[in-house]
Chains A and B, each alone.
Chain A
Amino acid sequence: MQPTLFSTQQWTVSKLTFYIRRLLEENDTLQDVWVQGEISNLSRPASGHVYFTLKDSNAALKCVMWKTSAARLGLALQDGMEVEVHGKIGVYEISGQYQLYADQIRAVGEGALYQEFMRLKSMLEMEGLFSPERKRPIPILPKKIGIVTSATGAALRDMLNTLRRRLPIVEVLLAPSPVQGIEAPPALVNAIRSLNAQSPDVIILARGGGSIEDLWAFNDERVVRAVAGSQAPVISGVGHETDFTLCDFAADLRAPTPTAAAELATQITLSDLKVNTSSLLSQLAAHILDILSEQRAHLSSLTTSLRYMSPERRIQSEHQRVDELSRRVYSSLLHRIQLQSARVNGMTQRLEALSPLAVLARGYAVVTRKDDGSVVSRVEQATPGQQISIRVSDGELDAQITH
């Protein structure tokens, strides 16, 4: 064999190790792995970092978990424990060691799912996703109800029957989705999103009963976040009364079953609406009766006033006036007559005092000449020998003038 013209690349240890490191770290598969194995050689020095070896019957893998990830572990690690570890493969050049840099560890076998459930629950709880302040009230009379559930299955049928019975005037919008299996979480997330695009007043997330594995999709972080982030309030009705999934915690309201969720979505029912309509009709009638009786009273008072102002009444009134005036005139006349007669009496008395008869009574006489009847008031009017008549108070005397 002829020697090649160019020598093969000469490596240094560092260069070769670096090359291996890059090879492993640029491999996408190796940067996101879940590895199952048994813990051994567990070491937790003061630094807080955790070192262990994951092994099975044929191989071993060195692992390290930095203290920040280790602090979040919801799991007590022990030698001999069967676990699943998530992380990425890297190379520690100094010791020429490839190892798994772990960021998650979960138990395998019995209780593993529960451990995972508790881990996620505490993580999301710390983020505040389950906080009571985030929960919104459910509308009491929705116009449009969105439902995320399997299109087949009893849950949908039961919910539709419940809604039909309680509030048939509501509009139901179904976003069908698988509710278990690996395809469920992304499908559920899409269903929630599609529904929100149609602006329902409330969304029901529902699934019938099952085991913890059956319900597992509703503990998936993606689904829980979609529920928490939904624009419409969410009622979660997953499984039986005693089942609690993380969606139940993230929802605005938890229902023990899908049927209960449909009931909680329809607080006001058809019979409530009918009662309300009857009540409004009664109020309507009552008000119009009030108005009519008001008007009647008003009319009655007007009629009374009118009667008071009638011609008949006025005539009577005028009669009364005339009578009144007559009476006044009469009494005034009477008064005047009385005054006049008093004056007359007065005058009569004065007249009497001045009358010649009164003079005669006092002793004076009226002398008249017999021949011509003229009154003699002076001496020269009578000559001696004339016949005169002397009138005194009670009669006449005949006489003759001597001188």
Chain B
Amino acid sequence: MPKSSSKKAEKTVEELTYEEALAELEEIVNSLEGEQNQLEEAIKLFERGQALAARCGVLLEAAELKVKQVVGDVVLPFDEESE
């Protein structure tokens, strides 16, 4: 049964960046708080929300500082050890 309420094609949770996952999670929390959802839809949203929160957690845990340098107009990698 097609869901008439999808506004955009949903990416899998694994494809999302931290900002994307966080934004969608907030949307879901607001949706469950306010609107009248069908029970089945609410449960689906809840499950997606859980997956999104887990994804955010993973990204935060695994994060490593990305450092690049710019010389003129060119962005290059930066090696911190070269001192």
Task: Tally B residues with Cβ within 8 Å of A.
Answer: 36
In the bound complex, how far is the Cα of B63 from the Cα of A143, in angstroms?
Answer: 13
Q: Which residues of B contact A194 (CB under 8 A)?
A: 70-73
Q: A168-B65, A173-B69, A175-B70 are in contact. Are A283 and B43 (CB under 8 A)?
A: no
Q: Which residues of B contact A197 (CB under 8 A)?
A: 70, 73
Q: A160-B65, A198-B75, A284-B53 are in contact. Are A169 and B60 (CB under 8 A)?
A: yes
Binds B, one of A5-13, A273-281, A313-321: A273-281
Q: Which residues of A contact B19 (CB under 8 A)?
A: 143
Inter-chain contact B69/A174, CB cutoff 8 Å: yes
Inter-chain contact B42/A170, CB cutoff 8 Å: no
Q: A169-B59, A172-B65, A277-B22 are in contact. Are A284 and B75 (CB under 8 A)?
A: no
Q: Does A288 contact B (CB under 8 A)?
A: yes
Q: Which residues of B contact A160 (CB under 8 A)?
A: 65, 67, 80
Task: Give chain A interface residues in 121-163, CB to chain B under 8 Å.
Answer: 143, 151-152, 157, 160, 163
Inter-chain contact A291/B37, CB cutoff 8 Å: yes
From B43, B56, B67, B75, A288 is in contact (CB under 8 Å) with B43
Q: Does A176 contact B (CB under 8 A)?
A: yes
Q: Which residues of B contact A276 (CB under 8 A)?
A: 22
Q: Can you list 14 A-B pairs, Cβ within 8 angstroms, ordered by A?
A: A160-B80, A169-B60, A169-B63, A173-B68, A174-B69, A174-B78, A175-B71, A194-B72, A277-B53, A277-B56, A280-B25, A288-B43, A288-B46, A291-B37
CB distance from A150 to the nearest CB of B (A): 10
Inter-chain contact A288/B66, CB cutoff 8 Å: no
Inter-chain contact A281/B53, CB cutoff 8 Å: yes
Chain B residue at minimum C-beta to C-beta distance from A153: B83
In the bound complex, how far is the Cα of B74 from the Cα of A175, in angstroms?
Answer: 10
Q: A174-B78, A274-B57, A291-B42 are in contact. Are A284 and B32 (CB under 8 A)?
A: yes
Q: Which residues of A contact B70 (CB under 8 A)?
A: 173-175, 194-195, 197-198
0 or 1 for each of A195-222: is its CB under 8 Å from B? (1 = yes): 1011000000000000000000000000
**Extra 17 A-B pairs, beta carbons < 8 Å, given A273-B56, A284-B29:** A151-B83, A164-B65, A168-B65, A169-B59, A172-B65, A172-B66, A174-B78, A190-B72, A194-B73, A195-B70, A274-B60, A277-B53, A284-B25, A284-B50, A287-B32, A288-B42, A295-B39
